[in-house]
Amino acid sequence: MGSFVRYNCKALWLLAVCTAAFGLIALSAEAQTGRSPNASAGESAIEEQPGVVPTPGDEQLPAIYQRQIVFYRTAEAPGTIIVDTADRHLYLVQGNSRAIRYGVGVGRDGFRWEGLLHISRKAEWPDWTPPPEMIERQPYLPRFMAGGPGNPLGARAMYLGSTVYRIHGTNQPYTIGSAVSSGCIRLVNPDVVDLYDRVPVGTKVIVQQKPQV
């Protein structure tokens, strides 16, 4: 009987050690990626919050999603926008193997897409008209909202071809780095203003699910 108790105690001790080690691995993954390893499980639950105005502090992103110049090798011409949805980054190609990298939020499961489009229109403080599908999911949403700091499209919008997709700002900066949108690419307002000022109508936009090799 005594040996049985000792065996069970040893098994429980090993289980506790393994659980603690797993927790450390998960925390390490979160620290390296800037988002929780379980983030995908709750990403689709985030809803739009029209009228909420983010503070400058809210728009201070984790280091991995802050705007910065990075080494980036591509055959695309300078001025091209490349969105890497897997890594939650948008790259504005600069040439000489450099790009300006921005953190973004992307489409959630069922709303992800890839392809080549061009910026067809630009707007400052755009108005927002939620599509019927969004209103069906969130009936409390306004049918129309004029542009402004609490608008879900944020400070700027760049419309992609004749599609419903846009690169735009957001009043929910905490969603950067997540897959929560209906297919649009969102940036914090300071970043979308910076990008807006750098790119003209006609800019080539490549959205890819996996990074180029």
Per-residue pLDDT at 113: 87
Domain locations along the chain: 39-208
End-to-end CA distance of the chain: 61
Residues in the chain: 213
Euclidean distance between CA atoms 76 and 46, whole angstroms: 34
* pLDDT tens by residue, the chain, 213 residues: 444 444 444 444 443 434 433 333 232 233 223 333 334 434 455 788 888 999 999 999 999 999 999 999 999 999 999 999 999 999 999 999 999 999 999 998 878 889 999 999 999 999 999 888 788 888 888 899 999 999 999 999 999 999 999 999 999 999 999 998 888 999 999 999 999 999 999 999 999 987 555
pLDDT of residue 46: 72
What distance in Å separates the CA atoms of residue 155 and residue 191, rounded to the nearest whole number?
A: 10
* Domain at 39-208, CATH from 1.10.3720.10, 2.60.200.20, 2.40.440.10, 3.40.50.1110: 2.40.440.10
Rounded Cα gap, residues 92 and 95, in angstroms: 9
pLDDT value, residue 199: 98
In sequence order, what are the beta bridge partners of 159?
A: 121, 166
Residues with catalytic roles? 168, 184
Contact status, residue 146 vs residue 127, Cβ threshold 8 Å? yes
Rounded distance between C-alpha atoms, residue 186 and residue 178, angstroms: 10
What are the C-alpha distances in Å from 186 to residues 24, 74, 159, 172? 31, 23, 12, 9
- pLDDT score for 68: 98
